[in-house]
Amino acid sequence: MAPVLTILHDADALIAVDKPAGLPSTGRNERDRDCVQWALERQVEAPLWAVHQLDKDTTGVLLFVRRKSAVAPWSEALRTGRKRYLALVSGAPTWPFRRLRAALSYDRKARIARVRASGKRADTHFTRLALGEGASWVRAAPRTGRTHQIRAHLAHLGHPIVGDTRYGGPMAPRVMLHNAQIALEGLRLDAPAPVAMVKAGAVHGLMAPADA
């Protein structure tokens, strides 16, 4: 049975959903039932196309469109819009704000992104939101859209995401990364931090930020 998804917006061909953890954004093919796209198509009873992707364990705002022709304009709007992610990271960043411009190259065999001068341009703005006991809340605002960009950049800074063992983070039930907000074309789409992240932060003496 397909999970019931929380729809954040449905108008002008655009559908925004609050993606749960544990499901890929899209399937390997159109018959793959193990993905958000398949579940959402059943829920709204219409074919859909993805505007972007979130990793399997990443939660939060995910965009689809009802017409294939709408993918390109909404993709461009997303590229020039604003995205804010909430991450629970290991350690205590000494910086209140940090911009990291470090090119990334994705290693498909190892399934990780590596910081390499020969890679593709990657630019992320980070803001420290709260310090806890061994972990901290950080806001990540990517200005480019590389695979695993936030995960790789935080690991490069020495603060891998809690649960992101692939990038050296401490063990947790899942990667604690959440797409909290997308703003584009006059729209602001917000998804509250999931219960699992709130509980993970509480372990380190942290309350969930009121505004990620």
Q: Which two tokens stand for residue 54?
A: 């979130």
For residues 97 and 138, give the distance between their C-alpha atoms in angstroms, rounded to a whole number. Answer: 9
Catalytic pick among 10, 32, 55, 107: 55
Helix (H) or strand (E) holding 89: strand 82-90
User: Do β-strands 177-184 and 59-65 pair in parallel, antiparallel, or remain unpaired?
Assistant: parallel
Q: Are 84 and 180 in contact (CB under 8 A)?
A: yes
Q: How far lies 81's CA from each of 34, 123, 141, 210, in Å?
A: 29, 14, 11, 22
Is 55 an annotated catalytic residue?
A: yes
| Beta carbons of 26 and 53 less than 8 angstroms apart | yes
Positions marked catalytic: 55
